[in-house]
Amino acid sequence: MAPMKRWLVLLLLIFGVSRVYAYELVLPKEKKSTVTTDYAFFVGRAHNGEAILINDARVYTASNGAFAHSVKLKEGENRVVVRSNFNTQIYRICKSPSKIQKAETVEEFEQRAGIVKNDNVPLRSTPENYGLNRIAHLFRGTSVLINGSKGEFYRVFLSKDKSAWIAKREVDFVETSSAAAFINMDGKRFKNAAVQVISFTKNLPYTVEEREKEVIFKVYNPELSDTSVYTLNIPKPEKYTYKVSLEDGVYTFKVSELPADIKDYTVIIDAGHGGSERGAIGCLGDEEKNINLRIALELQKHLKDLGINTVMTRECDGNISLGDRVKIAKANNANIFVSIHLNSIGDIPMNIHKNKGTSVYYFNPNSKALAEIVEKRVSKSAGTKKDGTRTAAFYVIIPPEYVGILVEAAYMTNPMDSVLYRTDNFAKNIANGIAESIVEFINK
């Protein structure tokens, strides 16, 4: 080859190789976008120690090249330049003004009777679609008295001291309605459960309150009088679950003690997402659903070795709805439900030192103890940062029939966590931490 040509080939080679090794971005997905969020996230992977600058700020990259960075957006057009020695990419992000919520007031009206259209309808303490304001889950066919509305919600009149809120779409109004008559009440005590049954001539609304030593169920009959409230106090053991059922005006409230023997437990293992629902995407392009499943399979192995009965909501990469996951748990009389996920950034400034590690969520007070043990043990066994134990109304952990927790093992979008969750032992370490926690919880 002539010297000139040789140089050309060499240049082409360098150019080609450098292009292959330039950084890749997982987020944002598009070069041009319109958002209403306050921050834009730049998540991706650098190669061979490539230095990444985003709007001239040097970005931290983990040993595997993973990086994550947030840019605060101003209203209107934002130009973000992502560059390294090998490549420069320009992102245009338009922040449209966030919708200003008009302050709505409560509209008062004459009491009207209605019927709840579906099962499992949240009765809320405030007129907002906010997870933790649920005070009960009403059954289809429950009679309610409505005397006001605000936004998407109707106000439900329960007694002179108590009102609650229900989504408008869940209620049908009825023309005529008469008060329910009380039929009878009966209490039974079993070795591991206490049951109270109360019967009326129609389905009435109820609420639940958990106190330190008891669970208080109340049934309201506001059409009879505004003081017509039936209160059932059922003592609760230290480790318990409870169940409410309603059929033809007959409420059954059951508070059960969890089994003492590990061999009497059924644990539902729920690998989050699956199939077309990939979950969060990591800096290096990893999909959350796959890591969730790996952890779930390891957990199943470990619990089986301990003699605990396990049921998986999915064992391969397929779609399964949240409703079906809960159905599986109830059909198998689950005692414990463990949902496995990895976290991602929300609409908060990304802080790689803060938004990392293991957090555990629960909804019912009966699940708090297990959540705390899991956070402590998993962070130890997997070497993750303790990111907290929090309450949240994730669908699969709402039913009080089992102790339910949702584990966010690590952050998909945290560069340092990405080094951890890509190691061979990560799934096993997380699973071991969860399994040891379940044993500690049962034997406590």
Output the smallest distance, CB 274 to Zn ion, in A.
Answer: 10
Give the H/E segment covering residue 333.
Answer: none
Q: Distance of CA 43 to CAs 24, 34, 279, 401, Å? A: 9, 18, 15, 39
- In angstroms, the CA 404 to CA 409 distance is 16
Output the smallest distance, CB 337 to Zn ion, in A.
Answer: 15
Q: Which residues pair with 408 in a beta bridge?
A: 341, 359
| Burial readout 9-44 (b: 16 or more C-beta within 10 A, e: otherwise) | eeeeeeeeebeebbbebbbbeeeeeebeeebbbbbb
Output the smallest distance, CB 428 to Zn ion, in A.
Answer: 20
Output the smallest distance, CB 433 to Zn ion, in A.
Answer: 18
Size of the site for Zn ion (CB under 5 A): 3
Give the residue with the Cβ less far from Zn ion, 236 or 289. 289
Stretch that binds Zn ion, among 274-282, 350-358, 388-396, 432-440 (CB under 5 A): 274-282
Contact status: 69 vs Zn ion (CB under 5 A)? no
Output the smallest distance, CB 404 to Zn ion, in A.
Answer: 15
Output the smallest distance, CB 229 to Zn ion, in A.
Answer: 40
Output the smallest distance, CB 261 to Zn ion, in A.
Answer: 33
Residues 213-252: x where in contact with Zn ion by CB under 5 A, - otherwise, as a string = ----------------------------------------
Stretch that binds Zn ion, among 186-194, 198-206, 271-279, 348-356 (CB under 5 A): 271-279
Contact status: 341 vs Zn ion (CB under 5 A)? yes
Reading the block at residue 47, the tokens are 């190669």
Give the residue with the Cβ less far from Zn ion, 96 or 321. 321
* N- to C-terminal Cα separation, the chain: 78
Give the residue with the Cβ less far from Zn ion, 222 or 272. 272
Query: Which one of 222, 272, 399, 415 is in contact with Zn ion (CB under 5 A)?
Result: 272
Output the smallest distance, CB 79 to Zn ion, in A.
Answer: 32
Give the residue with the Cβ less far from Zn ion, 258 or 340. 340
Give the residue with the Cβ less far from Zn ion, 122 or 279. 279
Tell me whether residue 166 is exposed, middle or buried, using C-beta atoms within 10 angstroms of its C-beta: 0 to 12, 13 to 18, 19 or more.
Answer: buried
Residues 277-306: x where in contact with Zn ion by CB under 5 A, - otherwise, as a string = --x---------------------------
Q: What is the DSSP string of 270-319?
A: EE--BTTB---B-TTS-BHHHHHHHHHHHHHHHHHHTT-EEEES-SSS--
Stretch that binds Zn ion, among 39-47, 256-264, 265-273, 306-314 (CB under 5 A): 265-273
Nearest residue to 411 (alpha-carbon basis) of 38, 62, 47: 62
Reported in sequence order, the residue ranges of 36-167 that DSSP labels E, i.e. its strands, are 39-45, 53-54, 57-58, 66-72, 76-83, 88-95, 107-116, 121-124, 134-138, 143-150, 153-159, 162-167
Contact status: 400 vs Zn ion (CB under 5 A)? no
Stretch that binds Zn ion, among 76-84, 267-275, 294-302, 371-379 (CB under 5 A): 267-275
Helix (H/G/I), strand (E/B), else coil: 202: coil
Tell me whether residue 272 is exposed, middle or buried, using C-beta atoms within 10 angstroms of its C-beta: 0 to 12, 13 to 18, 19 or more.
Answer: buried
Give the residue with the Cβ less far from Zn ion, 293 or 419. 293
Question: Alpha carbon 183 to chain centroid distance?
Answer: 40
Give the residue with the Cβ less far from Zn ion, 28 or 279. 279
The residue ranges that bind Zn ion (CB under 5 A) are: 272, 279, 341
